[in-house]
Amino acid sequence: MKLKTQHQQLCERIEQLNYQYYVLNQSSVSDADYDQLLRQLQSLEAEYPELRHENSPTQRVGAPPAKGFVTRQHQVPMLSLDNGFESEDLRSFVRRIQDKLVNHQQRYACEPKMDGVALSLIYEKGELVAGITRGDGLQGEDVTSNVRTIRTVPLRLRPPYPELLEVRGEVYIPLQDFAKLNEQLASRGEKLLANPRNAASGSLRQLDSSMTAKRSLSFSAYALVQLEGEPWPEWHSDCMRRLHELGFSMHSYSRVCHGVAEIESYLAWLQKQRSSLPFEIDGAVIKLDSLEAQQQMGYVARAPRFALAWKYPGVEVETELLAVDVQVGRTGALTPVARLQPVNVGGVMVSNATLHNFAEVKRLQLAIGDRVLIRRAGDVIPQVMAKVADGVMTKAIVEPQSCPVCQSPLEQDEMVQLRCSGGMDCSAQRLEALKHFVSRKAMDIDGLGVKVLQLLLDRSLIKQFADLFDPQKINLQSLMALPRMGQKSAQNLLSAIESSKSTTWARLIYALGIRDVGEVTARQLAQNFPDPQTLAAADELSLQKIDDIGPIVAQRIVQYFANLDHLAQIERLQCLGVHWPLLSAKPVQDQPLAGQTWVVTGKLEAMTRDQLEQRLRSLGAKTASSVSAKTHTLVVGKDAGSKLVKAQSLNVRTWSEQDLLQWLDTQEEGE
Ligand code: IVH
């Protein structure tokens, strides 16, 4: 009995913490404390398996692989929606409603149309009992074990809960996680996921739910379809509020509108937000807010008359493949790039798209001259998705046998990716490496664009990074000898080079361009290995102790420093004046902003956003790009917009740039 109570208390505590974190965006304990509670529960259940329950928080990691999915009938059919593309579609939708309903003053719930996969969840007595995909609308696949791994799906509802609840919503992968997932796949040489929708759908239908657990799926509810044991709310928007109380997380992009004008301004507003939303949308959904009015409007064929899917201009279009060029990237990867008949994709003209690698060219069975389908999604580079039709006169795409730039032999790395083995001897790799080295988040040499770099390379003024800082090579005279470089520009460039010498150790690590070492990893490396010699001496095991560094990245870092020239290169940079402040000797937890998350928004005056964020991080803060209830302070520059509004609505502290600078001064005095 005592064990059972202990188990129940642990479950409740963890559920409460999950709710705070995933639904309220707050956390009251550290990650370490949370992990400890979870481990305690895991070992209790390992010792007493009879205590384990399928909705216990330990079940989020996945169940043993299934042989296939069982088909289940939907008690309420899962319908699709009628689409609208232009203003007249919206007007006739509203007109039809006004003609049919007595009360003409209708309210409309307007919501983002998330681009994921539909899922129905059933709860009995507060417990999740089933998660079913849409299927053909009448019956779908039972994916309950996979659904249990989705952190934003409550496994138990928060009391007081109804006897029975069926809720529908969209399963999606947040764009940030999608990008991360593709980065991981690329670094393993595996096939990339075409878009977040396919990624979500593939992940939800994995037979091995521990695979689903590794994908950052999320769930966003958009309809309440069965409710027993408590009265139905009057409005759809109240249903959403009730679902929030029961433990479902809600985004903040839905609004209630009155009439066409308000709906249109919502649609324009949402479209403006589109590129900065954390998830992909393909439009908006407009629904009658009154549930009674919804019933009165009824259904036609397979779609309700009370809702309309407003579609934004398509992001997938067809065009002709004119040629395939091969680009050699910074780390030698050979990427086939499709040259296309220019075409408008969702408002942007596209004439190039990536084909990722030659295995992808084979998989798509492409030839030059074919008709292809291309897709552009958010910030993702346009991609060729499929062949639509064979061309009339086609030409085969030939896989290179050596580097097309320097003719060095190729290496086939991790299954699919072809790489040039030339390193810095390959002029394409050298140019890309230098572009990265001088870029904003690396050494930040203002005004040193690709054209000037190319000229410096052509004249053999630079071969390695350090040459940029060598006055024998780069000086007023050598710069002024370049075409279109006057005295003023040459002086500006020299002073930009000079000021870039004062940098941080993390920036320099990032600038080196070690494969798979991005900004975040570079920062972690700098914190853990305070100088070049210690980093160069680190072994794979000690590197893997750092968060987010797995065996592959650890191996890449060790390989990088196995080349003694690389350490010598850093030492030469230091000899030529590149320097950085030693990291504060204070342990991280003693730094003034430890444990706090700060966000910076708007135009700043005294420094760039990057510099300010770096300063905050050096004082122990984490910096984030969006405001949530977890944000400690929002620093507000000029013309701040939605982040400021959100911070105010969440009661997050806001500071002007001036407030922050004053506070920073006091910190420096005290140091
Ligand atoms: S309501 C009866 N609301 O769009 C009404 N659907 O084309 C049912 N979708 O399969 C749908 N966001 O998966 C609704 N806010 C939203 C939505 C949404 C995405 C998807 C849904 C459905 C498809 C309909």
Share of the chain above pLDDT 70, in %: 95
**Bond before 592 cis per omega within 30 degrees:** no
pTM above 0.75, yes or no: no
Token pair of 12, please? 């409740």
pLDDT tens for each residue of 212-241: 888 889 999 999 999 999 999 999 999 999
Out of 3.40.1500.10, 3.40.50.970, 3.30.470.30, 3.40.50.300, select the CATH number for domain 83-311: 3.30.470.30
Residue 453 reports pLDDT greater than 50: yes
Q: Is 502 a pocket residue for ligand 1 (Cβ < 6 Å)?
A: no
- Single-letter amino acid, residue 205: R
Q: For the chain, state the CA radius of gyration.
A: 28
Token pair of 139, please? 């019956």
pLDDT tens for each residue of 83-99: 888 889 999 999 999 98
Which residue's CA is the nearest one to ligand 1's atom 18? Answer: 113
Homologous superfamily in CATH for domain 505-575: 5' to 3' exonuclease, C-terminal subdomain (1.10.150.20)
Ligand 1: nearest atom to the Cα of 223: 1
Domain ranges of the chain: 2-52, 83-311, 316-418, 423-500, 505-575, 590-670
| Mean pLDDT computed over 306-323 | 88
Residue 581 confidence (pLDDT) = 85
Phi (first) and psi of residue 109, to 5 degrees: -90, 120
Q: Which of 79, 113, 201, 237 to mutate to test the pocket of ligand 1 (most atoms within 8 A of CB)?
A: 113
Residue 214 confidence (pLDDT) = 83
Residue 188 reports pLDDT greater than 70: no
Confidence of residue 136 (pLDDT cuts 50, 70, 90): confident
Q: What is the mean pLDDT of the chain?
A: 89
CA nearest neighbour of 329 among 412, 435, 408: 435
Burial of 24: CB neighbours in 10 Å, binned 0-12, 13-18, 19+: middle
Q: Is 171 a pocket residue for ligand 1 (Cβ < 6 Å)?
A: no
Domain 423-500 has CATH 3.40.50.2300: no
Which of 343-347, 365-369, 595-599, 617-621: highest mean pLDDT? 365-369
Residue 101 reports pLDDT greater than 60: yes
590-670: CATH topology is Rossmann fold (3.40.50)
Residue 122 reports pLDDT greater than 70: yes
pLDDT tens for each residue of 420-442: 999 999 999 999 999 999 999 89
Compute the 3-state secondary structure of the chain and give helix, strand, coil in percent, each to the nearest 5. Answer: 40, 25, 35
Cα(437)–Cα(509) distance, rounded to whole angstroms?
Answer: 10
Residue 26 confidence (pLDDT) = 78
- Which residues are marked as active site? 113
Q: Is 170 a pocket residue for ligand 1 (Cβ < 6 Å)?
A: yes
pLDDT tens for each residue of 369-409: 999 999 876 556 788 988 989 988 889 999 999 999 999 99
Ligand 1: nearest atom to the Cα of 117: 13
Q: Is 79 a pocket residue for ligand 1 (Cβ < 6 Å)?
A: yes
Residue 496 reports pLDDT greater than 90: yes
CA nearest neighbour of 226 among 163, 182, 154, 309: 163
Which residue's CA is the nearest one to ligand 1's atom 3? Answer: 222
Cα(624)–Cα(239) distance, rounded to whole angstroms?
Answer: 32
CATH number of 2-52: 1.10.287.610
Residue 670 confidence (pLDDT) = 40
In CATH, what class is 316-418? mainly beta
**Given this chain, do its domains 423-500 and 505-575 carry the same CATH topology?**
yes
Cα(260)–Cα(254) distance, rounded to whole angstroms?
Answer: 16
Q: Is 434 a pocket residue for ligand 1 (Cβ < 6 Å)?
A: no
CA of 261 to the centre of ligand 1 (A): 23
Ligand 1: nearest atom to the Cα of 80: 24
Q: Which residues contact 66 (CB under 8 A, 6 or more apart)?
A: 145, 207, 208, 209
Residue 360 confidence (pLDDT) = 87
Q: Is 113 a pocket residue for ligand 1 (Cβ < 6 Å)?
A: yes
Which residue's CA is the nearest one to ligand 1's atom 14? Answer: 222
Least confident of 22-36, 154-168, 336-350: 22-36
Which residue's CA is the nearest one to ligand 1's atom 17? Answer: 113
Residue 646 reports pLDDT greater than 90: no
Residue 669 confidence (pLDDT) = 41
